[in-house]
A and B are shown apart, each in its own frame.
Chain A
Amino acid sequence: MSDATAIRSGVPDLTRKPGERRALTDKAFTTFLWVMAVIASVPLFSVLYMLIAKGGGKISLSLFTELPPAGFALDGSGGIGNAIIGTLVMVGIASLISIPVGVLGGLVLGLIAPDSILAKTTRFIAKMLTGFPSILAGVFVYAALVIVMKTYSAVAGGIGLSVLMLPTIILTAEQAVRMVPQRMKDAAIGMGCTPTQTIWKVVLPTAIPGILTGIMLAVAGAAGESAPLLFTALFSYYWMSSLFEPTASLSILIFNFSSMPFEAQIELAWTASLILVLIVLIFNILSRIVGRKRV
């Protein structure tokens, strides 16, 4: 009783006491966190810095319009035009396959039959595939397609990339569809929507920002992949003339050229790295922008 009155009597002291233990621990932890955050960002920024420093100088129009030099190119000419096109085409092929399949698969998992055996199995395998070694995707397509078609090709490369994009798109689409509130679906059904109309007119439009975020992330990831292309698209020094021939890509160009003894090729590899990072960055930023539109 006397304690209680002792505490309550008078005006409580609310002033800051910087020397107190509680305040000191707080300061120490905050400082520690800042230091760690800075350490964590050092590699990120140094990579970016190195790419800009080493590859930034060569960015010019001819970089996008010319073919890579075949051997000695002492004048430092040549570009990576065919590799940029190859990467875009193969990511495009991969998107054509994995976006419809992934989004519709996500609908089944998130809305149509979330508890069915098919959905549970698919979900499990998709989660497993997100950590799938990407080189195995390449080996798989090599065995399934390249050997059968008897040629490396952009199509095989695209399919290899789609194997890696699919799980990301399925799982993010499922999450996005699940995030659509039940009351919105109730409203649609209450208005007299058939199940199909409910999905097309209400669920998908509401979930689209989340689905697009997943697609952009998958695209960014696929653009930077090299392992699946190694066995499927191989490489080419020439402009692409069909989808069924060996095709250049930025990531394989970096891999090939960085180990060459020629200065011009090594420089191109640096520039290609910078371009690749920029492409990935653009898709990441796009994913943030479309994701933010959520209400």
Chain B
Amino acid sequence: MTMTIDPQATELMKNAGITPRSELVAAIEADVNKIYYGDFLAVRDSHIAIEKGKITGFIGPSGCGKSTVLRSLNRMNDLIPIFRLEGSVTFLGQDIYAPNIDPVLVRRNIGMVFQQPNPFSMSIFENVAFGLRLNRYKGNVADKVEQSLRRAGLWEEVKDKLKQNGLSLSGGQQQRLCIARAIATDPTVLLMDEPCSALDPIATRVVEELMLELKEDYTVAIVTHNMQQAQRVADTTAFFSVDISKGGRTGFLVETGPTKELFSNPKQELTRNYLAGEFS
């Protein structure tokens, strides 16, 4: 609510040579100092900004905490009772871990697409309409469902069988259905946790093209195991690594930068080694 943007004020500030905060700030600013699961330190020192209208890719080896960080951006980790976060995650100026914040409302504004396609056991139409009904959408639900399915590139394939169960679709179609479901409510940010890992290369390509189209309207953060995928879709890439020095396996952010730069000219030794191992 602090982010009411007054276009006039914005204009004034621009004229004065000041970049207005509304344009400057990232959609999400994660200042993760530590994430614990019980006594286990899962992630440390990861400060990362998810910029508006861009795709931010999270890459790194297994267990580096990239999914953990992503899932803490919309408080999905709240489902794990022993989860504890030190630091803050700021979404459009509000700390979503503040005590007065309702995690349900956070999740309605920050959508999520999961690793495994997870449509509900209901019709294709109802799957997409689910969030609309949840938010008591005032407009025409059918129009919005069609629009969302079109944007997810699924409309042509399912328009004649909207009443069929969502689970009857193929894996790639299910994932696009989940994306349609997630974007139907127009979330500000879309988090994607390895959305293509259960898909074949063709379905993966379809979903990647979809992401590139989506970023015109949404801010996207995506975790991926696939370096090529990060290079294909991400504007900014964040590289995470694992620190096993203290006996545990603690993930941390090594560096973040524009994707081209990070891949061609990484600043950190760790990143260089990882990329070399990956590509040589």
Interface residues in chain A, defined as those with a beta carbon under 8 Å from any beta carbon in chain B: 181, 183-184, 186-194, 197, 201-202, 205-206, 295
Do A190 and B121 form a contact, CB below 8 Å, given A197-B134, A201-B130? no
* Interface residue B107 (Cβ < 8 Å from any Cβ of A): yes
Q: Are B121 and A193 in contact (CB under 8 A)?
A: no
Q: Are B118 and A187 in contact (CB under 8 A)?
A: yes
Main secondary structure of the interface of A (DSSP, over half): helix
Closest chain A CB from B241 CB (angstroms): 27
Q: Are A183 and B107 in contact (CB under 8 A)?
A: no
**Residue from the list B120, B134, B168 in contact with A192, Cβ < 8 A:** B134
Which of B25-33, B52-60, B108-116 forms contacts with chain A?
B108-116
Cβ < 8 Å to A, chain B residues 155-192: 165, 167-168, 178, 181-182, 185
- B131-172 interface mask toward A, CB cutoff 8 Å, 1 = contact, 0 = none? 100110000000000000000000000000000010110000
* Interface residue B79 (Cβ < 8 Å from any Cβ of A): yes
The count of chain B contact residues (Cβ–Cβ below 8 Å) is: 29
A102→B105 CA distance, assembly (Å):
32
Q: Are A205 and B114 in contact (CB under 8 A)?
A: no
Do A188 and B120 form a contact, CB below 8 Å, given A183-B114, A194-B104? yes
- With A183-B114, A295-B167 known, 17 other A-B pairs at CB within 8 A are A186-B76, A187-B118, A187-B178, A188-B120, A190-B74, A190-B111, A190-B112, A190-B114, A191-B107, A191-B108, A191-B130, A191-B134, A192-B131, A192-B185, A193-B134, A201-B134, A295-B165
Q: Are A186 and B79 in contact (CB under 8 A)?
A: yes
Closest chain A CB from B268 CB (angstroms): 32
Q: Are B130 and A190 in contact (CB under 8 A)?
A: no
Q: Find the residue from A181, A192, A206 having the highest chain B CB count within 10 A.
A: A192
Q: Find the residue from A186, A191, A193, A202 having the highest chain B CB count within 10 A.
A: A191
* Interface residue B122 (Cβ < 8 Å from any Cβ of A): yes
A131→B242 CA distance, assembly (Å):
54
Closest chain B CB from A212 CB (angstroms): 14
Q: Are A202 and B120 in contact (CB under 8 A)?
A: yes
How many contacts A-B (CB < 8 Å)?
Answer: 63
A-B contact pairs, 28 of them (CB 8 A): A183-B116, A183-B118, A184-B120, A186-B79, A186-B114, A186-B118, A187-B114, A187-B118, A187-B119, A187-B178, A187-B181, A188-B120, A189-B76, A189-B79, A190-B76, A190-B107, A190-B182, A191-B111, A192-B107, A192-B131, A192-B134, A193-B104, A201-B130, A205-B120, A205-B122, A295-B121, A295-B167, A295-B168
Closest chain A CB from B74 CB (angstroms): 7
Residue of B nearest to A193 (CB): B134
Residue of B nearest to A207 (CB): B121
Closest chain B CB from A204 CB (angstroms): 11
- B68-84 interface mask toward A, CB cutoff 8 Å, 1 = contact, 0 = none? 00000010100100000
A193→B134 CA distance, assembly (Å):
7
Residues on B with beta carbons closer than 8 Å to the beta carbon of A201: 130, 134
Residue of A nearest to B74 (CB): A190
A197→B116 CA distance, assembly (Å):
22
Interface residues in chain B, defined as those with a beta carbon under 8 Å from any beta carbon in chain A: 74, 76, 79, 104-109, 111-112, 114, 116, 118-122, 130-131, 134-135, 165, 167-168, 178, 181-182, 185
Residue of A nearest to B184 (CB): A191
Q: Are A192 and B165 in contact (CB under 8 A)?
A: no
A191→B121 CA distance, assembly (Å):
15
Residues on B with beta carbons closer than 8 Å to the beta carbon of A197: 134
Closest chain B CB from A194 CB (angstroms): 5
A206→B122 CA distance, assembly (Å):
8
Q: Are B107 and A206 in contact (CB under 8 A)?
A: no
Do A192 and B104 form a contact, CB below 8 Å, given A205-B121, A206-B121? yes
Residue of A nearest to B119 (CB): A187
Residues on B with beta carbons closer than 8 Å to the beta carbon of A188: 120
4 residue pairs, one from A and one from B, having the closest CB atoms: A192-B108, A183-B118, A190-B112, A192-B107
Residues on A with beta carbons closer than 8 Å to the beta carbon of B105: 192
Closest chain B CB from A201 CB (angstroms): 7
**Residue from the list A184, A192, A193, A194 in contact with B118, Cβ < 8 A:** A184
A193→B122 CA distance, assembly (Å):
16
Closest chain A CB from B91 CB (angstroms): 14
Residue of A nearest to B131 (CB): A191
Residues on B with beta carbons closer than 8 Å to the beta carbon of A181: 118
A194→B105 CA distance, assembly (Å):
9
A190→B122 CA distance, assembly (Å):
17
A189→B108 CA distance, assembly (Å):
9
A194→B75 CA distance, assembly (Å):
13
Residue of A nearest to B127 (CB): A187
Q: Find the residue from A181, A186, A187, A193 having the highest chain B CB count within 10 A.
A: A187
Residues on A with beta carbons closer than 8 Å to the beta carbon of B111: 190-191
Residue of A nearest to B130 (CB): A191
Residues on A with beta carbons closer than 8 Å to the beta carbon of B104: 192-194
Q: Find the residue from A189, A193, A201, A202 having the highest chain B CB count within 10 A.
A: A189
A181→B120 CA distance, assembly (Å):
10
A205→B182 CA distance, assembly (Å):
20
